[in-house]
Amino acid sequence: MKRIYLFPNKLKIPALVVFIISIVLIFLQFNEISTELNMNVFAIVSDPFLDSENSGNFRWVAQDMYNEVLDVLFFTSGLILVFSKEKIEDEMIGFIRYQSLVNATYFIFSLLIISEFLIYGMSFGYVIMFFYYVFVLFLNIFYYTKLFIYKKQFSYENED
């Protein structure tokens, strides 16, 4: 069987802490409770709405980076969480990880196809961005739910 490279198990707890914190901060941001992290950053393309001062290509622009930092924390911690080794890694856990990835992909793309026919205009762009977050969230939910069921079933088999 071909080797699949996973993150070490010791990254699971820090990734879980960062993932939970980033989820809380994202919910707070949707409720308009957030902070600003203004800084000058290099932009390959910058086309802000109604701000000609910060528009252009390959230039330094003033930007609030809070959203970007929060996104990077959410996505990296979510992926590290689901693609970290378990303490006891066997073929069944690898299969559960693969099955969760496939199911999350099918689920999100099914919702995306349905959204194609029900949501139009700029709102569709927001829906696509929302699906990025939901994909990582459902990938973790599917994986840990199936892993919990597998470990529970495995523990009952060992008691007999």
Percent of the chain at pLDDT exceeding 70 = 91
Which has the closest alpha carbon to 133: 86, 79, 93?
79
- DSSP bridge partners of 63: 39
Pick from 54-63, 86-95, 150-159 the range whose average pLDDT is largest: 86-95
Cα gap 140→81, rounded to integer Å? 8
* Residues 153 and 107 sit within 8 Å (Cβ to Cβ): no
Which two tokens mark 148?
């919990």
Please say if the pLDDT value at position 14 is more than 80: yes
Report the predicted TM-score, pTM, of the whole model to 2 decimal places. Answer: 0.82
| Burial label, 35 (beta-carbon count in 10 A; 0-12, 13-18, 19+) | exposed
What is the model's pLDDT at position 50?
A: 56
- DSSP bridge partners of 39: 63
**Three-class DSSP category at 62:** strand
What is the model's pLDDT at position 42?
A: 86
Q: How many CA atoms lie within 13 A of 142 on its CB side?
A: 21
Cα gap 110→138, rounded to integer Å? 13
User: What residues does each domain of the chain span?
Assistant: 87-160
Cα gap 81→109, rounded to integer Å? 22
What is the model's pLDDT at position 148?
A: 93
Residue given tokens 């088999």 in the structure block: 157
